[in-house]
Structure 1
Amino acid sequence: MAKSCCQTPEPDNSAQNNPQWRRILWVAMLANLAMFLVEIFAGIAADSRSLQADALDFFGDAANYAVSLGVAGMTLAWRARAALLKAASMLAFGLGVLGFALHGLIIGANPEPQTMGLVGALALLVNVAVAVLLFRFRGGDANMRSVWLCSRNDAIGNVAVIVAAIGVFGTGSAWPDLLVAAIMALLAIWSSAEVFAQARRELASG
């Protein structure tokens, strides 16, 4: 293999000033805010921990996209600092969702699979569309990579919510919903470590 999958990509500084990059960030931010509102109400109504976790992820991603818009065009050092902030938020999200899933396990939950499946499918369509728009920018600096990872994780999370809905429907148990919420949390924690490591390397070389 010519390049390791863990190799730090060369930062694409020109892309930071690309008007298309900024437009895509605006689209991604507004789409994530809209889906946060849809999923938080649907998650509460359906008593679904995985939907509620995904809703919080949408909100966190919208904030991350706003940060990326704020630092676009700045020096690599400032973009790396912004990436560190986003890595911290991804870590906080992951730990929070783990606690949320544990809370559901302790007090009990009765998720409604039909709502989970329908809203999860809608969220998947939105996130796949955003991921396609962001795909060409996935190999940039830590800030751009964090945006791509957020979008990728969201799409994976949406597929997991749909699988959880099928599992809840088939078993009549809340376990699939709680398990998916925990998996989403671990994915966020893993991605935060990736972004943190790359941002630290960029600051060190800055």
Structure 2
Amino acid sequence: MTTKLTKSRALSTVLTTVIILVASVVLGSGVVLYGASLFQGGTQTEAISVSGVKVWVHATDANGLAWGAAGVRNTGDKVVSVDKIQIRGTDIPFGQWYPDVTVTPTLFQQALNHTGWSGVAGGLTNNVACNPVTILELSGGSATDDICADVATGPVSLTPGQSAIIYFKLTNGTLSPLDSGANTGVNIFAGKTGAPQSVTIQGKS
């Protein structure tokens, strides 16, 4: 009995080579795009700088009336949200923050002022008439140096390069008049970004 041989069809050498080349190009492009996205994401950083931190305590108030202030600048490449101000292990609620995110570079570099004690805004004297009227109005000596701050309702968002001055009222009892002249730590963070600041408490009468 004779066996009948049949030819099996296969892809030609040229077609096989073309398919391999196309597949290599597609895979290579995917690897390049993936690597570029990883590199771009890796080079973007979250960073803030905190400067000019002040803490004031009423020199005679038995309830421990105290305020603080700080300048915060987004020095990274991503939008960040300042979400924690903490003194002596006590978080200061957002309802006691008064941020001004429209400050000029000149104002940001100046020393933050204590304007005196009163019942306005829970302890600081308002000296200017901001437009529109806001909860905390502090005069820096000229119209361009005024702090016009609304009470915060949540974290303070800062775009890359943006600066803010944040005044904050400490919960009564966090400090006392006896703390005047002592050093304390002020923690200001935007997520995991930030660092404790060492500050000398100033007594103000």
The two structures have a TM-score, normalised by structure 2, of: 0.25
Q: Which is higher, the Rg of structure 1 or of structure 2? A: 2
Decide which structure has greater helix share. 1
Decide which structure has greater strand share. 2
The two structures have a TM-score, normalised by structure 1, of: 0.25
